[in-house]
Structure 1
Amino acid sequence: MVRALKVLYVAVGVGLLAAVFAEVEFAEVWSLAVLVGAGGMAVLIVLYAFGFVIDSFTWQMAMAGVPLNARWLWRAFKVRMVGEVFNNVMPAAGMGGEPVKAMLLNKHYGLGYREGTASIILGRTINMVSQVLFLVIGFAAVWASDLPGHFKGLAVVGLLAFIAATAIFFYAQRLRIASATGTWLGRRRWLERINDVLHHIRDMDERLIRFYTQNRGRFVAAIALAFLNWAVGAVEIYVAMIYLGHPVSFADAWIIESVAQLIRSAAFFIPAAVGAQEGAFLLVFSVMTGGPALGVAMALVRRARELVWLLLGAAFGAVYAARPAR
């Protein structure tokens, strides 16, 4: 069943990708994409690396027992690099690399599985909350623009759905819903076996609550830094459009990135959001510039940057695989 779902998710992505390229002339898309060149791609990779360092530091801040120094930042950076490879190739809601990250932290740096897992959940929460802030600004710009009304309506619906999902994810932790549900189920005689794992659930909830209540400064600072990372994505769009020969305002770049990230989040079940990301760029560029080929070219440029980054992550993974455990 699981294997069938994986095949289905990949098929959906491939189908979306085929639909995107059916709407454009590939020769035109390619002629635009190559305008970026090696120099432009290097600039985009440096920009993404800067954002990735910020993202790694926000995750480091979620590790309550870890010092905020350069040594641990480098460790978090490398582990995240490897984790992102799995997050992008596995149809697991972008969570396929999370167990890998927890394992690497434990095996090579002695960080306990519970603390590592808690930091991963906290890091995901921080990213989602900061993404809400980023999207709110982006869709406020959409609402203030002269874009079609139906586009604005869809944007608002998507934003509200994402805000609701983020609120549920956060308050499920804050209100200890997992512990409460587990305790309720544990009282059922036919589910008494889960009592063996209830203490693990309660321990995780306590770690999360302790961070939210005792490390509020870290939590707020991490959200601010994560927001900066999302903004770097808009800068990447802004710079890439200059290389593509169609410069846009920074406000438009923010709108483009907001729509792309929202659709990518909605397509969480598709590995690397294949087809969905391309469709997002096709949609938003068609509405904003009337040039669908330009949107697909932008998508190809981003895919090229992602491929380079994933290869670097795979290289880090190979180094970890060859290194003996601590």
Structure 2
Amino acid sequence: MSKKSKIILLLIGISVFTYLVMDFGIDNILTNLRKTGWYFIPVIGVWGFVYLFNTFAWRSIIHNSSKISFGKLLSITISGFALNYITPSVAVGGEPYRIAELQKPLGMSKAVSSTFLYTMIHFLSSFVFWILIILLALISLSLTSSLRILLIVALLAFLIIVYFFINRHKNGILESSLNIAIKIPFIKKIAIKYSDKTEKIKQVDHQIKELYLNRKYDFFSALLLEVVARIIASLENLFILKAIGIDITFSEALYINAVSSFVINLFFFMPLELGSREGGLVLVLKAIKISSPLGIYIGLVNRVRELFWIFVGLVLIASSGKTIGKNLTESVDYEKSTFV
């Protein structure tokens, strides 16, 4: 990534971060920090472990990790998720950054394919996580007939989605997706722009297929690590409620995480997850017979924790220029070189 691009990206990040802090309110942040007390440290720490597992998963996909250190990859992971959060609505700002940072050590096609694959596996892990939680609920909870039927339907739907994604990984996805996109009126013009990049797309598709067909261990290791990361993230809810004297089981923490994350993904178009996170938390707390207004409190602490990691991500982006040095000016501009 060029030095100019990094500066622009950093300024945008700082602007959005400042907006979030001011919109949330410094007094509000301090109030929630005081209420959470020392438990805010494990809340922050939980996500440190989550990002570690995310990085291990990504390293499994990259395979030849000797070209980039684990510390550098962890830094890109944290910064990428920070940029995803501050990107309004679609949360994909981190992907171009990841590709641009990886293109120097790995080459453009490998940078694109490994980033694309990680994004897909990260997305796929959501469904695997929800499937596991549904199975846990069906086995361990006393459910009404209507709720049991609803969960079974959701379980079948998620299994179909998981099958589709794994099958697409096996057969390649970019070229076939482009061929379909060219036939769709609203996105036809955009797709045609990339139709002359067929050879590059085939290269990336080959690397995507290679991961599943020839490196299944790496594929499923990355998927398992991502699912474990989501399980670890559930501890956050346990610590937040513990801070105000409410003890919940780890199973209940898993339910809270699963339902709230599902609602957030369902309303992915909401800028900065405004309302969707709190709505999901209120819904699940009511279901497990905990005071539903506490969902607002959990959501507020979640946002303070996110602000902390956004700040860390922006600091890492700013400091990365020192480690890359003169090579920054030699990097190929992302917008000119990539095709996704």
**TM-score, normalised by the number of residues in structure 2:** 0.75
Counterpart contact for 1:126–1:223, Cα < 8 Å: yes
- Cα 1:285–1:184 change in 2 (3 A) is closer
Indicate which of 108, 111, 115 corresponds to 1:120: 115
User: How far does the alpha carbon of each residue in 1:90-134 deviate from its partner, in whole angstroms, 9 at most, with x for none?
Assistant: 135332210111112225xx2212111111122123223333332
Partner Cα distance (1:192, 1:48) in 2: 41
- C-alpha change, 1:76 and 1:151, in structure 2 (3 Å) is farther
Task: Provide the residue aligned with 1:310 in structure 2.
Answer: 310
Tell me the distance in 1 between the aligned counterparts of 2:244 and 2:305: 15
Q: Which residue in the other structure is 1:137 paired with?
A: 132
Preserved contact between residue 173 and residue 208 of structure 1 (Cα < 8 Å): yes
Query: Could you tell me which of 71, 74, 77 is aligned with 2:74?
Result: 77
Q: Which residue of 2 aligns with 1:229?
A: 229
Mapped contact 2:103–2:110 kept (Cα < 8 A): no
Question: Is the alpha carbon distance of 1:145 and 1:105 closer, same or farther for their aligned partners in structure 2, counting shifts above 3 Å?
Answer: same
Report what 1:42 is aligned to. 41
Return closer, same or farther for 1:249/1:324 CA change in 2, 3 Å cut-off.
same
Q: Deviations along 1:166-193, whole A, 9 cap, x unmatched?
A: 443433332235334657999xxx9997
Distance 2:284 2:181 in 1: 46
Residue 13 of structure 1 corresponds to which residue in structure 2?
A: none
> What is the CA–CA distance in structure 2 between the aligned matches of 1:184 and 1:134, rounded to whole Å?
29
Check if 1:146 corresponds to 2:142.
yes
The answer for the alignment partner of 1:65 in structure 2 is 64
Give, in whole Å, the separation in 1 of the partners of 2:79 and 2:300: 23
1:62 is paired with a residue whose SS is: helix
- Shift of the 184–287 alpha-carbon distance from structure 1 to 2, 3 Å rule, reads closer
Residues 57, 76 of structure 1: 8 Å contact kept: no
SS of the residue corresponding to residue 292 of structure 1 reads coil
Query: 1:95-114, aligned counterparts within 5 Å?
Result: 95-107=92-104, 110-114=105-109
Offset of residue 60 of structure 1: 1.2
Matches within 5 A, 1:199-238: 199-238=199-238
Aligned match of 1:52: 51
Counterpart mapping for 1:137-216 below 5 A: 137-143=132-138, 144-146=140-142, 155=151, 158=154, 160-180=156-176, 182=178, 196-216=196-216
SS where residue 64 of structure 2 aligns?
coil
Q: Displacement of 1:274 after TM fit?
A: 2.1
Farther off after superposition, 169-178 or 196-205: 169-178
Q: Is the 8 A contact 1:93 1:268 kept in 2?
A: yes
Match of 1:228, as an amino acid?
V
C-alpha displacement at 1:53, in angstroms? 0.7
**For 1:324, what is the secondary structure of its paired residue?**
helix
CA separation of 1:273/1:58 partners in 2, compared to 1, >3 Å: closer, same or farther? same
Report if the CA contact (8 A) 1:159-1:262 is conserved.
no
The residue type equivalent to 2:134 in the other structure is: F
Compared CA separation, residues 153 and 269, structure 1 to 2 (3 A): farther
- Matched to 1:236, the amino acid is E
CA RMSD of aligned residues (A): 3.4
State how far apart, in whole Å, the 2-side matches of 1:97 and 1:105 are.
12
Secondary structure, in 3 states, of the residue corresponding to 1:120? helix
Q: Gaps spanning 5+ residues in structure 2: where?
A: 1-27, 183-188, 328-340
Secondary structure of residue in 2 paired with 1:229: helix
Query: For residues 253 and 137 of structure 2, what CA distance do their matches in structure 1 show?
Result: 11
Give distance in 1, aligned partners of 2:127 and 2:274.
23
Q: How does 1:222-261 map to 2 (within 5 A)?
A: 222-261=222-261
Answer yes or no: is the 8 Å Cα contact 2:46–2:232 preserved in 1. yes
Instruction: State the alpha-carbon separation in 2 of the partners of residues 192 and 282 from structure 1.
Output: 44
Deviation string 1:207-252 (CA, Å, 9 cap, x unpaired) is 1111112212222222222221111012222222211211111111
Is the alpha carbon distance of 1:181 and 1:116 closer, same or farther for their aligned partners in structure 2, counting shifts above 3 Å?
closer
Q: How does 1:2-17 map to 2 (within 5 A)?
A: none
1:264-319 per-residue CA deviation (whole Å, 9 max, x = no partner) reads: 22222233322111111011112222412211111111111111011110111122
